[in-house]
Amino acid sequence: MTRNKKGKKGKRKIFILVEGKTEQMYFDCLRQQLRLSNVKIKTTVMKNSGRTWIEKAKLLIENDPSFRRDKATEVFVVFDKDEFTSNELKQMFKRAEEENFGIGFSNATFEIWLLAHFEAVTAKVLSKAAITNKLEVHLKNDYIKADSDQLDKMIKNLDLAVKNARSISEINFESQSTNIGELISNIRS
């Protein structure tokens, strides 16, 4: 917790820069459901960032006045493996460390984290279609990306999701993994 000039504890400031609308909606719903009054979370979508995720995040924070960063500000960049090679990902992780950015990463897709809200997930890589089918079974409806009602329903199982994803929380570029649960545990602490 940071202290202001009068010695009072200030709000934690957390910036979460995300790859897509689903991730943005998820973290916005999370902030509302958890009533994180002691945490200021600002999310933004970095569209079409390609191989420049970390550089784009750095430029956004440096040039956008709504992203005023101080020493206590925590920055997380949330993205999927997509088509990146292991070497490209290693470079992004190294660059993020240099900038003191945390990373929320999912291999192969953010939806593996969403699936963890309903069932245990493993390192065996599932296709996007298989993940979507499993989500639809649990939701008893078609899965709609960035749908706040569906995301709110999922977030009600947040503690289960953290538990269900624990076995794949160590980042792995070759097998299914997600450390979103660790990022959320950090936010809640």
d(CA 117, CA 162) in angstroms, rounded, equals 8
Return the axis-axis angle of helices 148-155 and 21-34, rounded to nearest 10°: 50
Band (152; pLDDT cuts 50, 70, 90)? very high
Confidence class for position 9, pLDDT limits 50, 70, 90: low
**Residue bearing the bigger pLDDT, 179 or 39:** 179
pLDDT tops 80 at residue 50:
no
Q: Minimal CA–CA distance to 172: which of 98, 112, 101?
A: 112
pLDDT band at 66 (very low <50, low <70, confident <90, very high): confident
Reported as a single tens digit per residue, the pLDDT across 73-95 is 899 999 998 888 899 899 999 99
Name the one residue in this structure whose structure tokens are 């649960």: 181
Please answer whether residues 106 and 113 qualify as being in contact, where contact means their C-beta atoms are separated by less than 8 angstroms: yes
- pLDDT, mean of residues 101-120: 97
Report pLDDT for 161: 98
pLDDT for 39: 66
Domain extent listing, the chain: 12-188
